[in-house]
Amino acid sequence: MSQQPEGQPVEFPSVPKPRRSWSARRAPAAVCALLGAVACAAVLYDVVSVRFGGTPSPWRHALLDRLYGMSVTDTLAVVAAAVLVVVGLWLIWLAMTPGARKRAPMKPPGGDVRAFLDRSATALLLRDVALEVPGTDDAKVRVRRRKVRVRATVRFGDPTEVEAELTRALTTKRDALGLARPPRLAIRVRPDGDWTPPVPEQTESVGSADTPVATGGKK
């Protein structure tokens, strides 16, 4: 077993920087492939039909006549070009961005291991912790990329104290999830419809007017 020479810094294995998961973009790819396949199949069917002695479809004649008589300044051409530009930019944006916004990256333990936590699972875990806080009747948790919104209702107790306990419990749970970029908490507490303000504790007074005071004396 080799030993580290004295005076040299200890080298630790490099941990890769956590990154978001890339989405497969199945829905946009399926829509584009389906539209292209339908258009190509329609044109191919009409061409093959004409080659075997059939007559061209009326829609192809109408489309060709329309295209031959159209100029680049026509409204239809400008609108079609604008739509194609928007669709093209949208496809480029989908190809250049990772997507998978519902999965948050976790701190990598090392090596090539990558872990992700779904936002819905994060919301359920934080909601369970919020419901365990005394005085909390209901809680709604929405997890975003950089913020967690918590809306809780208080059935009993001081809302200020319940909010402080919620903040402490949720912060502890959020830090224990091991997220690479822990989102900040935005907690809002409101009293329930059946909430009643807590009764302040009363201390018994010593030597009140109703308590007889014994006096001592010599006869």
**Whether the Cβ atoms of residue 192 and residue 159 lie closer than 8 Å to each other:** no
pLDDT at 116: 79
198, 162 Cβ separation under 8 angstroms: no
pLDDT of the residue at 109? 67
pLDDT-flagged residues of the chain (< 70): 1-22, 109-112, 195, 198-219
> What is the pLDDT, as a whole number, of residue 97?
77
Alpha carbons within 13 angstroms on the beta-carbon side of residue 14 total 2
- Distance separating alpha carbons of residues 89 and 217, to the nearest angstrom: 103
pLDDT computed for residue 168 by the predictor: 93
24: Cα within 13 Å, side-chain hemisphere: 3
Mean pLDDT of the chain: 78
Give the pLDDT score at 26.
81
Of 163, 152, 158, whose CA–CA distance to 195 is shortest?
Answer: 158
Q: What is the pTM of this model?
A: 0.56
* H helices present in 52-183, as ranges: 58-68, 75-96, 119-131, 159-176
197 HSE (CA, 13 A, CB side) = 3
